[in-house]
Amino acid sequence: MQVQTDTSSASAARAAEARAALDAWVREIVDWHFDPASGSPFWLERAGTLGWDPRSEIGTFDDLRRFGPFEDEWLRGGPVQRWVPRGLAGKPVYVFETGGTTGIPKTRINIDDFRIDYELFSATLPGEHFPQGANWLMLGPSGPRRLRLAVEHLTQHRGGICFCVDLDPRWVIKLIQKGWTDHLQAYKDHVIDQAVTVLSANHDIRCMFTTPKLLEALALRLESMGTTIRKAGITGIFSGGTEFTPQWNRFAHEELLDGAYMTPTYGNTLMGLAASAPSGPHNDYTIAYYAPQPRAVIEVVDFDTPERLVPYGDTGRVRLTTLTREFFMPGFLERDEGEREPPYERYPWDGVSGVRPYREFAASTTVGVY
Amino acid sequence: MIHLPVLRWGEPYTSLEVDEVVHFATGEPIARVSRANGGLIQRDMRKAARAREALRAFSIEDLIARVGRAGEHYMTATLPMGDGAQSPDEFVHAQSASTGLPERMCRANMKKNAFVLSEMGAVLTSLTRGLAFDVLSTGQGVEREVPISYQAQSPVLGLVLPSNSPGVHTLWLPIVPLQIGLVLKPGPQEPWTPYRMAAAFFEAGIPREAIAIYPGQADVGAAVLDSCARSLIFGGTTTVDRYRGTPRVQAHGPGFTKILIGDDQVDRWERHLDMMVESVFVNSGRSCINCSGIWASRHTREIADALAERLAAVRPLPPEHPDASLAAFTVPGVAEAISRAIDAGAQAPGVEDVTARHRPGGRLVKEGAADYLLPTVLHASSPEAAVAKQEYMFPFVTVVECPQARMLEAIGPTLVCTALTRHDAFRRQLLDAVHIDRLNLGPVPTTRLNWLQPHEGNIVEFLFRARAFQSAPL
């Protein structure tokens, strides 16, 4: 058992309640996406090939397996408009991308989802470390990703103003693949230089989003300047990435943060943002993530038989399901693996810990670049 | 089971992530090794200067005496190994179990390490060409009435070590007596020597803060290279190419070691067959100093045939067997892939696998979970054949037919070259050839090193820079 899990009878009731809410939400979302008046061209066209009617035959979350695995390739290439639900026609649409070092990146349309996701996440942040009205630093990838807009919205939602320093992960991957280590270091220094400048410019920045690699680089830079993250004014950090291992989490807490609070997150453009249960010496710094159900669901499934959940504590591949009015993505097999975690008091549904690149892809994928 | 912690300037640190070292044949875990993370190294390197300061509290002569005693401990004592202890026999057994090297080769490598430690005074005198040691300590001195200054370019040397050949450890043994700290990233299958050697050093009174050991994955190796102003890395051709022209990193890769037989000697080739066999076969052909190419203008088919006849009878034996001479491949699939590559290369025009004529069955042998490749001798009738410049981690050699006049332009980079010739012009060309690193003129096995000589660059020159220095009374 890696986190303080929820095993009482009251918790069973909470889990059942959450499950009922999820099933109800699934029905609502399936109704929306397969209604000719509100659904997206992609799903309406697909419905014609299924040979069954999702609106009458999908009653629960488990029924979503009938769709089979969500194909990665469906999200590559256009026209992107096929993903816009008719029920949301006329609203301003964003498009966000994932990956994309080579070939065509996956795209997801967004209208308000990123705002809703981050407002929900905002409610999980402890106010003593992330004070309302505080200014933030967003130190990480922007460009075609949603992070910049999302973190900026999070800051504004909490009454603050967000300063941004960009990092282009696609360029970083190229530098790594080409072996241009000097350029890589120079680019990292360039990014950290900007962060240090912003932090030293009397903007009263107290909160930050950044990635583990950049957090490490920033902390080491500040240490070399005789100061620390905490002394630079930062009280709360949220961070995320597959290199967020328990050992790194511990290293950060013991040697980098100087008492600043850090909460790990797991997420991407396709799913949204999963918060984590508290981690620390009590659980060997294991990080368990919980999706923002019912808008998104994380499952840990068998590597060879993805229809089957692995037992609690066992390792499997991460499967994501996104259930919003803007985007319906049932059963997407993520490029990550981890251990299935039981429900947690605050999140009475399954979680995942030990997230790392899926072993089949790990050797060929450049990860942990930012 | 033994747990090996990260050593942060001598202080053990247990990571939340551990890797298992497993037995090459059974897959059973032998040890658990704490995995460091890159940031931890970068942070620790802020204190790198302390390592040199701690060592400079002793004279180089004193450190030479201490490492000599460390060599005795290394050879004979039961020494701490992580949270346990290891006798010399247990050390040999563990090293053999994880690397696939026969135990007698592990013992031979131990002796090599101990020899270098016991001869450290002579080694350093030779590598410094008789420089007074205190010049390296203080940074200045006078030689032949001329002021001289040698400046350490880094307080520590980083080493990203391999798993496949415990013999390479001799390269870093002179570092501590040079008052330079050690930052070691052990090979995943061979953590044993760095830990045992560190324990022997500590036992001999070398300060703990002079040595750091960071087991881990690729990010750890990258952090060592990034954080240390001088580093050695061991890897393949890709690694060497990557760090070529990077003054702070010395990359050690394949040796492409060769024996060249001049036209004046080639008719007497049989006299040198033992030397050729030793050069190819010693240490199971794993070293960069093992010969992978024998070049001559004629008699090459007879040479290949004679070598094949001598080597074809070799068979794998259990690692503890006193006559075991072949090392196992410990990474699944590697031996098979190498064997397939050799077969593909042997399909080229003018190339023949000569050993195939001398033994029934193939070169790949599976003994339980372990794979072995039997010694292989190819013949190539031209230096253009791709196999003429191949090197693999087992006894593998191509005998190449090539006119003497073309040899030096055709051999490519060569770590050790043993040249058999009395022909003055050819000897002069060999001495001038900048793509040959170690040169043996005469029948010296390529694997027989003189420890008083530099290997792939002088480590003293890598670590210390001679510079101008003047002073005047104030």
- Best probe of the A interface among B43, B238, B241, by most A CBs < 10 A, is B43
Range of the domain at A186: 9-362
**Which residue numbers of A have CB closer than 8 Å to B's CBs?**
179, 181, 185, 216, 220, 223-224, 245-248, 250-252, 255-256, 284-285, 368
Q: How confident is the model at residue A369 (pLDDT cuts 50, 70, 90)?
A: very low
Instruction: Tokens 């820079």: give the residue.
Output: B465
Residues B265 and B324 in one domain: yes
- B149 CA: distance to closest CA in chain A (Å): 30
Query: What is the identity of the amino acid at B373?
Result: L
Residues B224 and B277 in one domain: no
CA B310 to chain centre: 26
Nearest CA in chain A to B36: A247
- Pairs of residues, one from chain A and one from chain B, whose beta carbons lie less than 8 Å apart: 38
Residues B243 and B294 in one domain: no
Is the pLDDT at A366 greater than 60? The verdict is no
Q: Which is higher by pLDDT, A12 or B88?
A: B88
- Best probe of the A interface among B18, B19, B33, B42, by most A CBs < 10 A, is B42
Residues B205 and B221 in one domain: yes
Contacts of residue A223 in chain B, CB cutoff 8 Å? 43, 46
Average pLDDT over residues B213-238: 93
- CATH code for the domain of B407: 3.40.309.10
Tell me what ipTM this predicted complex has: 0.84
| Dist. CA B282–CA A156, nearest whole Å | 70
Lowest-confidence range among A247-251, B240-244, B370-374?
B240-244
Tell me whether residues A255 and B43 touch, CB distance under 8 A: yes
Predicted local distance difference test score (pLDDT) of residue B196: 97
- Model confidence pLDDT, tens digit, residues B93-108: 999 999 999 999 999 9
Lowest-confidence range among A195-199, A279-283, B119-123, B237-241?
B237-241
- A296 CA: distance to closest CA in chain B (Å): 30
Predicted local distance difference test score (pLDDT) of residue A101: 59
Pick B37's closest partner by Cβ from A181, A224, A247. A247
Predicted local distance difference test score (pLDDT) of residue A82: 96
Percent of chain B with pLDDT strictly greater than 70? 100
Pick B17's closest partner by Cβ from A216, A247, A256. A247
Give the DSSP H/E element, type plus range, for residue B53: helix B48-56
Average pLDDT over residues A20-41: 97
- A312 CA: distance to closest CA in chain B (Å): 21
SS3 call for A161: coil
- CATH code for the domain of B169: 3.40.605.10
- Is B400 contained in some domain? yes
Residues B131 and B111 in one domain: yes
Q: How confident is the model at residue A180 (pLDDT cuts 50, 70, 90)?
A: confident
Last residue of a domain, one of B218, B253, B288: B253
pTM of the model: 0.90
Predicted local distance difference test score (pLDDT) of residue A363: 54
Q: Using the Cα atoms of residue B366, residue B371, residue B374 and residue B377 in order, give the sign of their dihedral.
A: positive
Average pLDDT over residues B106-116: 95
Contacts of residue A181 in chain B, CB cutoff 8 Å? 222, 226
- Is A367 contained in some domain? no
Is the pLDDT at A196 greater than 50? The verdict is yes
Contacts of residue A284 in chain B, CB cutoff 8 Å? 16
Tell me whether residues B226 and A185 touch, CB distance under 8 A: yes
- Is B447 contained in some domain? no
- Is B468 contained in some domain? no
- Model confidence pLDDT, tens digit, residues B384-409: 999 999 999 999 999 999 999 999 99
Last residue of a domain, one of B192, B219, B253: B253
Predicted local distance difference test score (pLDDT) of residue B198: 98
- B42 CA: distance to closest CA in chain A (Å): 8
Q: How confident is the model at residue A2 (pLDDT cuts 50, 70, 90)?
A: very low
CA B166 to chain centre: 7
Is the pLDDT at A3 greater than 50? The verdict is no
- B37 CA: distance to closest CA in chain A (Å): 7
Q: Which is higher by pLDDT, A369 or A100?
A: A100
- A184 CA: distance to closest CA in chain B (Å): 11
Is the pLDDT at A367 greater than 50? The verdict is no
Residues B159 and B307 in one domain: no
Number of domains chain B is built from:
2
Lowest-confidence range among A30-34, A144-148, A293-297, B429-433?
A144-148
Q: Which is higher by pLDDT, A178 or B97?
A: B97
- Is B474 contained in some domain? no
Residues B6 and B126 in one domain: yes
- CATH code for the domain of A252: 3.40.50.12780
- Is A119 contained in some domain? yes
Number of domains chain A is built from:
1
Nearest CA in chain A to B18: A247
Predicted local distance difference test score (pLDDT) of residue B433: 97
- Model confidence pLDDT, tens digit, residues B332-368: 899 999 999 999 999 999 999 999 999 888 999 998 8
Average pLDDT over residues A208-217: 94
Contacts of residue A255 in chain B, CB cutoff 8 Å? 39-40, 43
Contacts of residue B35 in chain A, CB cutoff 8 Å? 247
Predicted local distance difference test score (pLDDT) of residue B131: 94
Is the pLDDT at A99 greater than 80? The verdict is no
Is the pLDDT at A211 greater than 50? The verdict is yes
Pick B37's closest partner by Cβ from A220, A224, A248. A248
- Model confidence pLDDT, tens digit, residues A101-150: 567 889 999 999 999 999 999 999 999 999 999 999 999 988 888 889 99
Pick B16's closest partner by Cβ from A179, A252, A284. A284
C-beta contacts of A80-84 below 8 A and 24+ residues apart = A80/A107, A80/A109, A81/A41, A82/A40, A82/A41, A82/A42, A82/A45, A83/A40, A83/A41, A83/A42, A83/A107, A83/A108, A83/A109, A83/A327, A84/A40, A84/A41, A84/A109
Last residue of a domain, one of B236, B253, B270: B253
Tell me whether residues A251 and B39 touch, CB distance under 8 A: yes
Contacts of residue A252 in chain B, CB cutoff 8 Å? 39
- Is A370 contained in some domain? no
Nearest CA in chain B to A225: B46
- Is B13 contained in some domain? yes
Pairing of strands A288-290, A351-357: antiparallel
Q: How confident is the model at residue B245 (pLDDT cuts 50, 70, 90)?
A: confident
Residues B437 and B330 in one domain: yes
Computed over every residue of chain A, the mean pLDDT equals 91
- Is B456 contained in some domain? no
Nearest CA in chain A to B244: A179
- Is A128 contained in some domain? yes
Residues B242 and B264 in one domain: no
Is the pLDDT at A361 greater than 80? The verdict is no
Tell me whether residues B43 and A220 touch, CB distance under 8 A: yes
Range of the domain at B384: 257-441
| Dist. CA B179–CA B170, nearest whole Å | 17
Residues B188 and B329 in one domain: no
Is the pLDDT at B241 greater than 90? The verdict is no
Q: How confident is the model at residue B166 (pLDDT cuts 50, 70, 90)?
A: low
Average pLDDT over residues A244-272: 92
Contacts of residue A179 in chain B, CB cutoff 8 Å? 242
Q: Which residue, among A215, A205, A211, A209, has the nearest Cα to A252 in the 3D structure?
A: A215
Is the pLDDT at B309 greater than 80? The verdict is yes
Residue B309, classified by CB atoms within 10 Å of its CB into exposed (0-12), middle (13-18) or buried (19+), is: middle
Residues B191 and B280 in one domain: no
- B39 CA: distance to closest CA in chain A (Å): 7
Residues B139 and B194 in one domain: yes
| Two structure tokens written together for A168 | 């282009």
Cβ neighbours for A166, distance < 8 A, ≥ 6 positions apart? A140, A141, A142, A143, A148, A191
Average pLDDT over residues B157-177: 90
Predicted local distance difference test score (pLDDT) of residue B400: 98
Q: How confident is the model at residue A368 (pLDDT cuts 50, 70, 90)?
A: very low
